[in-house]
Chain A
């Protein structure tokens, strides 16, 4: 496909997404907004988990920090408007990520994963008990905002911004350095890469995205409680979305978020009591047949100028990853 056609396709899709609110019910719009917010989180996770190869399991902590910072600034005595409050949440998250990242990014593999998980759990409980600030487990209520389009367009803008940033990242020295760290940390260090610095930057980036998603969700949901906004499900969802789409690719997280969100919404409304079973089954099949995600298959094929996708690729995937 020529570059021009590509650009045209992008423009068309963008136009479609921009006019979308005119044509769908406000609940559908909500579903799309959810997808965009999940995409945003997945884009963030992609920096640390996809490009840098650090399986962060506590990104929901930044989602929560973003939500609470945004919320508390908006309802406290300052009555800060939404966007500055959102920015403050993102900033605070980045700061926390940097401070936490310095020690815990020295850990590797599962150890890093459990450390981040532990941090998220601990923060959740702090929010749960810090009555004077967060009103504890009771939670806080943000001002009412009824226009669904507002959330949709904000999320859309952030996701597009995220795409641009990811694209630039993947071509920058920063991105290259992060990938080197993912592939071999010792080698990366010997190549002159300040691994600590790079990892912390990637981690902070992921925190910023999670915080933006958190702040936006808080404003949309109005009622913010530690139980809801520090729930490990959010972390799992962003990881699933990224893996399904393809970790360490520009489009993967967005694509994965679309597939996951739409599938689970569909399953949810169709199977009242068995929807987790169906969703579980879908995830299992996805992993068995596409263990490296959609984008990685598509991208590799594209490089070689082959047809994008054949059913036989699924079986080949199984053959390549099984043990007998």
Chain B
């Protein structure tokens, strides 16, 4: 009998866990975001953005469908910042929790993993935090992204610098080797060349790198006018820190991810001054949409009221809220919860929101909304400096050398 008992153990699993059916008048969404691991912070932004939008929509009565009002509920799982977990959790959300729609995970890599699963089950996903175009080059029909694609991230910064200074000639690009940053770096380098600049340094370093002094030493030797970094917050902090250590002082330094996050200044203190960052959204932007908050400012005020721990609002929060809004509008347009019909409604969507225009190209990514550029300035604040039509302040240029600062 001993051995039978032993072998029966796996079978025990058969009886483990069932989920309660959801109430009749809710539409269930599912999301697997990173709450632990490498991108836990960004995952938290994502969740907070989703939650805020859902609460707002629910407070205003929810989604109206055929005269009936539906509340939204979101089921979350933690993907531990591992994209293979994302696949598993999306399966769980669709199959076990029977969610109707999927909100995207944080990051391009997990979004890339989630996309084929949604495709497999024909469940629409709108994601807000995966802008690598590789996700959208596979022909998947059920994945949409509200944000601008990766290769546009640093384009504005190059335009900005060139408008300020006709004498810039050289640029160095270093990027993290992962799908999103690779595209950012590639896009930036291509655009720089297009504008006639000389890309004197272009290298990718492996994810999780803890020391970039070797790369910066090489870059210092090339003495470029502009240094562009494509990575995540960790990388941009490291690059600024070590650039100061090594006395790397270009005329402008900018990053795809990092400067827009409040942690950037918290970590670097005054060393963060003059650094540029690209951003999908800032509260200084001047949009006027048809969503509950209408304007970026309106969104920011309302969000901070609900989430007092936030000072500056990271764009990940806003774009996550935007994804929820896009879903709501598409569902209402479709007039049904049928996934295929909703999918078509999403594809046809063209709305103006606090977040900007949301419209998807044939691949499913929002190429219609421009990126903005922010700069951290010595007065301790962060200003939107580009495009000039929405700039709060003029960009400070060039960046003074490290040892020439007070």
Determine if chain A interacts with chain B: yes
List residues of A whose CB falls within 8 A of some B CB.
1, 5-6, 9-10, 13, 16-17, 20, 23-28, 30-32, 34-35, 125, 128-129, 135-139, 141, 144-146, 217, 221-223, 225, 227-229, 231, 233, 251, 254-255, 258-259, 262, 266, 268-269, 272-273, 275-276, 298, 302, 308
The residues of A that contact B214 with a CB separation of less than 8 Å are none
Question: Is the beta-carbon distance between B91 and A225 smaller than 8 angstroms?
Answer: no
Per the bound structure, the CA–CA distance linking A251 and B96 in Å amounts to 30
Question: Is the beta-carbon distance between A137 and B82 smaller than 8 angstroms?
Answer: no
Question: Is the beta-carbon distance between A266 and B182 smaller than 8 angstroms?
Answer: no
Given A9-B7, A136-B182, A262-B12 in contact, is the A225-B116 Cβ separation under 8 Å? no
- Candidates B11, B91, B115; contact of A27 at CB < 8 Å: B91
Per the bound structure, the CA–CA distance linking A254 and B8 in Å amounts to 12
Question: Is the beta-carbon distance between B7 and A225 smaller than 8 angstroms?
Answer: no
**From residue A40, how far is it (CB to closest CB) to chain B in Å?**
14
The residues of A that contact B138 with a CB separation of less than 8 Å are 141
Q: Does B192 reach chain A (CB closer than 8 Å)?
A: no
Per the bound structure, the CA–CA distance linking A125 and B206 in Å amounts to 8
Given A9-B3, A27-B91, A221-B113 in contact, is the A231-B84 Cβ separation under 8 Å? yes
Question: Is the beta-carbon distance between B92 and A27 smaller than 8 angstroms?
Answer: yes
Question: Is the beta-carbon distance between B116 and A30 smaller than 8 angstroms?
Answer: no
Q: Which residue in chain A gives the minimum CB-CB distance to B108? A: A138
Given A9-B3, A20-B14, A128-B177 in contact, is the A272-B95 Cβ separation under 8 Å? no
- B53-91 at interface with A (beta carbon < 8 Å): 76-78, 80, 82-84, 87-88, 91
- Candidates B5, B12, B96, B134; contact of A25 at CB < 8 Å: B96
17 A-B pairs within 8 Å (CB atoms) are namely A1-B3, A30-B95, A31-B13, A35-B10, A129-B204, A141-B116, A145-B120, A217-B84, A223-B83, A228-B83, A255-B6, A258-B13, A262-B13, A272-B76, A272-B78, A298-B6, A302-B2
The residues of A that contact B14 with a CB separation of less than 8 Å are 20, 23-24, 28
**From residue B118, how far is it (CB to closest CB) to chain A in Å?**
11
Count of chain B residues near A, Cβ 8 A: 51
The residues of A that contact B117 with a CB separation of less than 8 Å are 221-222
Given A30-B88, A222-B117 in contact, is the A137-B96 Cβ separation under 8 Å? no
List residues of B whose CB falls within 8 A of some A CB.
1-14, 16-17, 35-36, 76-78, 80, 82-84, 87-88, 91-92, 94-96, 109, 112-113, 115-117, 119-121, 132, 134, 138, 177-179, 182, 204, 206-207
Given A129-B177, A221-B113, A276-B36 in contact, is the A30-B92 Cβ separation under 8 Å? yes
**From residue B234, how far is it (CB to closest CB) to chain A in Å?**
15
Q: Which residue in chain A gives the minimum CB-CB distance to B93? A: A27
Per the bound structure, the CA–CA distance linking A322 and B109 in Å amounts to 45
**From residue A156, how far is it (CB to closest CB) to chain B in Å?**
11
The residues of B that contact A269 with a CB separation of less than 8 Å are 17, 77, 92
The residues of A that contact B95 with a CB separation of less than 8 Å are 25-27, 30
Per the bound structure, the CA–CA distance linking A38 and B9 in Å amounts to 16
Question: Is the beta-carbon distance between A146 and B120 smaller than 8 angstroms?
Answer: yes
**From residue B190, how far is it (CB to closest CB) to chain A in Å?**
15
- Candidates A26, A137, A144; contact of B178 at CB < 8 Å: A137
The residues of A that contact B13 with a CB separation of less than 8 Å are 28, 31-32, 35, 258, 262
The residues of B that contact A302 with a CB separation of less than 8 Å are 2
Q: Which residue in chain A gives the minimum CB-CB distance to B177? A: A137
Per the bound structure, the CA–CA distance linking A275 and B94 in Å amounts to 21
Per the bound structure, the CA–CA distance linking A228 and B116 in Å amounts to 15
Listed residue (A28, A32, A227, A273) with the most chain B CB atoms within 10 angstroms of its CB = A227
The residues of A that contact B2 with a CB separation of less than 8 Å are 1, 298, 302, 308
**From residue B339, how far is it (CB to closest CB) to chain A in Å?**
14
Per the bound structure, the CA–CA distance linking A223 and B140 in Å amounts to 12
Question: Is the beta-carbon distance between B7 and A231 smaller than 8 angstroms?
Answer: no
The 10 closest A-B pairs by CB, nearest first: A27-B95, A27-B96, A222-B116, A258-B10, A9-B4, A228-B84, A308-B2, A138-B134, A26-B95, A223-B113
Given A10-B7, A23-B14 in contact, is the A138-B82 Cβ separation under 8 Å? no
Per the bound structure, the CA–CA distance linking A255 and B6 in Å amounts to 8
The binding surface of chain B is classed by DSSP as helix
Question: Is the beta-carbon distance between A225 and B112 smaller than 8 angstroms?
Answer: yes
Listed residue (A1, A10, A27, A28) with the most chain B CB atoms within 10 angstroms of its CB = A27
Q: Which residue in chain B gives the minimum CB-CB distance to A251? A: B6
The residues of B that contact A255 with a CB separation of less than 8 Å are 6, 9-10
**From residue B361, how far is it (CB to closest CB) to chain A in Å?**
19
**From residue A243, how far is it (CB to closest CB) to chain B in Å?**
16
The residues of B that contact A24 with a CB separation of less than 8 Å are 14
The residues of A that contact B121 with a CB separation of less than 8 Å are 146
Question: Is the beta-carbon distance between A223 and B182 smaller than 8 angstroms?
Answer: no
Question: Is the beta-carbon distance between B112 and A223 smaller than 8 angstroms?
Answer: yes
Question: Is the beta-carbon distance between A233 and B120 smaller than 8 angstroms?
Answer: no
Per the bound structure, the CA–CA distance linking A135 and B6 in Å amounts to 45
The residues of A that contact B96 with a CB separation of less than 8 Å are 25, 27-28
Question: Is the beta-carbon distance between B206 and A225 smaller than 8 angstroms?
Answer: no
The residues of B that contact A30 with a CB separation of less than 8 Å are 88, 91-92, 95
**From residue B231, how far is it (CB to closest CB) to chain A in Å?**
12
Per the bound structure, the CA–CA distance linking A34 and B12 in Å amounts to 15
Per the bound structure, the CA–CA distance linking A256 and B204 in Å amounts to 40
Per the bound structure, the CA–CA distance linking A32 and B91 in Å amounts to 13
Question: Is the beta-carbon distance between B119 and A139 smaller than 8 angstroms?
Answer: no
**From residue A153, how far is it (CB to closest CB) to chain B in Å?**
15
Per the bound structure, the CA–CA distance linking A217 and B87 in Å amounts to 11
Question: Is the beta-carbon distance between A138 and B182 smaller than 8 angstroms?
Answer: yes
**From residue A130, how far is it (CB to closest CB) to chain B in Å?**
11
Per the bound structure, the CA–CA distance linking A13 and B13 in Å amounts to 13
Q: Which residue in chain B gives the minimum CB-CB distance to A20? A: B14
Given A1-B2, A16-B11, A136-B177 in contact, is the A272-B87 Cβ separation under 8 Å? no
Per the bound structure, the CA–CA distance linking A308 and B3 in Å amounts to 9
Per the bound structure, the CA–CA distance linking A217 and B80 in Å amounts to 19
Q: Which residue in chain A gives the minimum CB-CB distance to B113? A: A223
Per the bound structure, the CA–CA distance linking A1 and B4 in Å amounts to 9
- Candidates A28, A125, A141, A231; contact of B82 at CB < 8 Å: A231
The residues of B that contact A25 with a CB separation of less than 8 Å are 95-96
The residues of B that contact A272 with a CB separation of less than 8 Å are 35, 76-78
Question: Is the beta-carbon distance between B82 and A228 smaller than 8 angstroms?
Answer: yes
Question: Is the beta-carbon distance between A225 and B11 smaller than 8 angstroms?
Answer: no
